[in-house]
Amino acid sequence: MKKTTLGLAAALMGATAAAAEMIEVNGANLFYESIGSGEPILVMHGGLGLSHDYLRPYFDQLSETNTVVYYDHLGNGLSDKPDDYAEMNFDRLTSDAAELMTALGHDTFTLIGHSYGGFITQEFAINYADRLDGLVLVDTVPAFDYQPTVSGPDENMAAFGKLFTQPMADNDDWRATWNPVAEIYFHQWDPDVGADLDELTNYEYRAWNAAGALLGTFNTLEDLPNVPTRALVIAGRHDGITVPDAGAERIAGLLPNATLMIFEESGHYPFIEEEAAFFEALNGWLAE
């Protein structure tokens, strides 16, 4: 789970070459970073309540052949915070993504979504399929009709229980609760990687608190069969929160043009735990 040489090289490249700016979309400023050149790829972060930073430097290596765009969803990271987080609904989040890429001059693109970003990505594909050259869903689910299989030490499980039963009081509370949970989302935990992820992340407790209610009606089971986009659906075998049989395996079975990949030594973050194999597979699929 240590950052590979390739990942470190990408980090250095990103530090010197990424354009980081605010852009006005749908009346709010979104923070984005763009790196590389070539066919565009938009990467959506999860959480909510986190920022796009945990995806870097890992996905930066795609910039060797593509333009890679990261951004913080409305209400997250460095993007504007709405007075009323009810504005942060799926219609707004998907429209933001579409308008962001239009503003950056990308009519069509490949869309990658991880975890909660995968929920938004599915909604985007249902409503904006004409904008997509490809669809990549990483450790996500189409509906919440299953039981997670997360397990770990008592203190981590206590944090997990708190996370899903009560609102976070402030950003310190959110950060302190999230980090023990993130630990048990990995198959093999590396404290150094965890420290890096924590240091990078811009936490926003209000986005996390609003995210659960937003999922109350989330269900793409009926709509995914109508999405024609070429898709790659990925999961870590040991992911206990978006478990493969309820998540990636169902999604791949529903999408008419999907390839399924399961990474056997990973949890919720296969792009970290099996970085080399993950990006070899993803780059191969992108090149097809």
Asked if residue 15 has pLDDT above 70, the reply is: no
Please give the pLDDT value at position 11: 45
Asked if residue 9 has pLDDT above 60, the reply is: no
Identify the CA nearest to 93 among candidates 143, 57, 42. 42
How far apart (Å, rounded) are the C-alpha atoms in residues 48 and 107? Answer: 26
pLDDT digits (tens, 9 = 90+) for 90-146: 999 999 999 999 999 999 999 999 999 999 999 999 999 999 999 999 999 999 999
Please give the pLDDT value at position 213: 86
The predicted model gives 242-268 an average pLDDT of: 98
Asked if residue 10 has pLDDT above 90, the reply is: no
Q: How far does CA 26 lie from the centroid of its chain?
A: 21
pLDDT digits (tens, 9 = 90+) for 202-244: 999 999 999 988 888 899 999 999 999 999 999 999 999 999 9
Q: Which helix (H) or strand (E) holds 28?
A: strand 28-35
Q: How far does CA 28 lie from the centroid of its chain?
A: 21
CATH number of 5-287: 3.40.50.1820
- 3-class secondary-structure state, position 132: strand
Average pLDDT of the chain? 93
Please give the pLDDT value at position 212: 87
Please give the pLDDT value at position 91: 96
Residue type, 75: G
Tokens describing residue 70: 């990261």
Q: Specify which residues 136 forms β-bridges with.
A: 112, 232
How far apart (Å, rounded) are the C-alpha atoms in residues 150 and 186? Answer: 10
The predicted model gives 38-42 an average pLDDT of: 97
Band (17; pLDDT cuts 50, 70, 90) = low
Please give the pLDDT value at position 18: 66
How far apart (Å, rounded) are the C-alpha atoms in residues 76 and 36? Answer: 24
Question: Do residues 236 and 263 make contact, with C-beta atoms less than 8 angstroms apart?
Answer: yes
The full set of domain ranges for the chain reads: 5-287
The predicted model gives 55-69 an average pLDDT of: 97
Asked if residue 283 has pLDDT above 80, the reply is: yes
pLDDT digits (tens, 9 = 90+) for 159-206: 999 999 999 999 999 999 999 999 999 999 999 999 999 999 999 999
Please give the pLDDT value at position 216: 84
Please give the pLDDT value at position 20: 77
